[in-house]
Structure 1
Amino acid sequence: MKKIVTLNVKQLRTEECFGYLKLVLAETENLPEEETPSILTTSVNTYTDKFNGYDTALKASAVNPATVSVTATDAGRDDAWRGTNAYVKAMCNHPTADVASAAAEAKSLFDKYGDPTSLAQTEESGVLHNLLQDLEAFDASKRTLLNLDVWIADLKAKEEAFLAAAAERTEADAARQVGIVKETRTAAEAAYRSLVDTVNALAMINGDAAYATFIDHVNAMIERQKAISKARSTRAKKEDEFAE
């Protein structure tokens, strides 16, 4: 008698679990349509509903409202850096020698780190952190001579606004991942196991002829998934041994 073999879907990665469950959903088209036992119809409908809930949660988790704020604050700190850098550069040509000299010293701090606005967000934060430390340690009398403090304060405020937005985005991502996505995935996994148990039971009671295509196809997917998981585990083990 044909039977769907066991696959622990809990051990699959989020994307793998979703992809596998989606393939199983497509295979339900191969289940018998005529004289279908009501228990199978209910099981398929429940599985479809729970999978769709999981799908919706994953799509929602990919859209983080905080991302808009991160993008805006990132652009704000870029503009602040460009404005401050341009101001100091222009002051290097000031007609008063002391002012020009102080500006040249300040400009050397900007040149030391280069333009961070094209870097990845985390890298840019590192550069701005170091630059702001240098600027705040710059001789106070020269900062006053250049009227530089207002520019430094603006750049610092823009960087802090970005960091706050980035932290909010990270927190929101984590909350969704462990919240609604986990909840809907668990429900979909339970519905999958129920469907498998139902098909196996009906195949044993009524014979497997009507369920053979579904069973064979799902088993083939399970064997493929097991092979992928085994290969990943073997690769990870070798990497650990190499690291030792």
Structure 2
Amino acid sequence: MKEIGTISLERMNNGAHYMYLLLILEKAEADATLKTKVSGLTADLREAVTKEDECLKLSQKSLLSDKIQAADGQRDALYSGYKKGVDGYADFPVAALAESAKVLAQHIKDYDIDPKMQLDKETGLLINFIADLEGKFAEHVTALALTPFVTNMKTANEAVRSLTASRTDERTVVEVGALKKARAASDTAYKNLVKMVNALAMVEGDANYAAFIDYVNTEIVHYKREVLGQTASKPGEGADISPDNNDERPGEL
């Protein structure tokens, strides 16, 4: 009699765990016999795998991180351009312009902003730095025609500030241990499905379940070899998917 073998789901990395269960789920949902016999269990697995996918996505790098990096790079480039603009007037033959450059150069030195510093620290310093340039040093900025640098630097800095705040909000909605709980729920749903399919194959004969059982066993061998680093033989080659000391029987929940 055919039956689905065992595999240590808890030992898989997050990506492999999700993909393995998704493959089994899709195969089960496409099987005509299982649609009739175990529709409730496949629905449970679908719900669990969907939740796991949501948690997996939230646990990975926020998509906002790329936008933050881009905005940070933009403001750093503008800050660098502003500094070069000030430096360019340091020895200017027009005394008034050279004096404006001297004042702004000292302002740069006072803040000592390093684009490589911690992201939020740079954001905070730039807020005050730019406020000075728009306020008490506005006359000097205008004299050196550096207003476009200041305006665009402010826009980029505000973008970083807004995006980092949004990323923080995004992360706070992720429940601590949510992915671990979701994986456990998926494991339970999977084992319930496997246990029922094996029971049906034993009671009714495996003719109507052979295709699904063979598919799952093939994936088990593949994941044991490629993901878990275990020795496993192809289905039909003797003790192909027998449990090892790290496997859990499908019925042990």
* TM-score (norm. length: structure 1): 0.58
Q: By how many angstroms is 1:78 displaced?
A: 2.0
Counterpart contact for 1:31–1:210, Cα < 8 Å: no
Task: Say whether residues 1:125 and 2:116 are aligned partners.
Answer: yes
| Deviation string, structure 1 residues 41-61 (Cα, Å, up to 9, x no partner) | 221221122222323444455
Q: 1:31 to 1:219 in 2, by over 3 A?
A: farther
Task: Say whether residues 1:208 and 2:206 are aligned partners.
Answer: yes
* Partner in structure 2 of residue 239 of structure 1: none
Q: Secondary structure at the match of 2:192?
A: helix
Counterpart contact for 1:25–1:48, Cα < 8 Å: yes
Q: Which runs of 5+ in 2 are unaligned?
A: 126-136, 142-152, 231-253
Q: 1:167 to 1:32 in 2, by over 3 A?
A: same
Counterpart contact for 1:43–1:191, Cα < 8 Å: yes
Q: 1:176 to 1:213 in 2, by over 3 A?
A: same
Task: State how far apart, in whole Å, the 2-side matches of 1:220 and 1:194 are.
Answer: 19
Report the AA paired with residue 12 of structure 2: L
Task: Say whether residues 1:84 and 2:111 are aligned partners.
Answer: no
Q: By how many angstroms is 1:88 displaced?
A: 2.5
* Partner in structure 2 of residue 21 of structure 1: 21
* Partner in structure 1 of residue 221 of structure 2: 223
Query: 1:36-185, aligned counterparts within 5 Å?
Result: 36-37=36-37, 40-59=38-57, 64=62, 67=65, 70-71=68-69, 74-75=72-73, 77-95=75-93, 125=116, 169=167, 176=174, 178-185=176-183
Q: 1:81 to 1:24 in 2, by over 3 A?
A: same
Task: State how far apart, in whole Å, the 1-side matches of 2:42 and 2:209 are.
Answer: 13
Q: By how many angstroms is 1:63 displaced?
A: 8.0
Deviates more, 1:183-192 or 1:25-34: 25-34
Counterpart contact for 1:199–1:211, Cα < 8 Å: yes
* Partner in structure 2 of residue 198 of structure 1: 196
Q: By how many angstroms is 1:94 displaced?
A: 1.9
Report the AA paired with residue 229 of structure 1: V
Report the AA paired with residue 218 of structure 1: V
Q: 1:231 to 1:8 in 2, by over 3 A?
A: closer
Q: By how many angstroms is 1:218 displaced?
A: 0.4
Counterpart contact for 2:12–2:228, Cα < 8 Å: no
Task: State how far apart, in whole Å, the 2-side matches of 1:231 and 1:165 are.
Answer: 41
Q: Give the number of equivalent residue pairs.
A: 200
Q: By how many angstroms is 1:67 displaced?
A: 3.9
Aligned Cα RMSD in Å?
A: 4.8
Q: By how many angstroms is 1:95 displaced?
A: 2.0
* Partner in structure 1 of residue 145 of structure 2: none
Counterpart contact for 2:197–2:209, Cα < 8 Å: yes
Task: Say whether residues 1:187 and 2:185 are aligned partners.
Answer: yes
Q: Secondary structure at the match of 1:32?
A: helix
Q: By how many angstroms is 1:167 displaced?
A: 9.1
Q: Which runs of 5+ in 1 are unaligned?
A: 111-115, 117-123, 133-143, 149-154, 233-244
| Deviation string, structure 1 residues 167-214 (Cα, Å, up to 9, x no partner) | 984795597385443333322222111111111122222222211111
Report the AA paired with residue 14 of structure 2: T
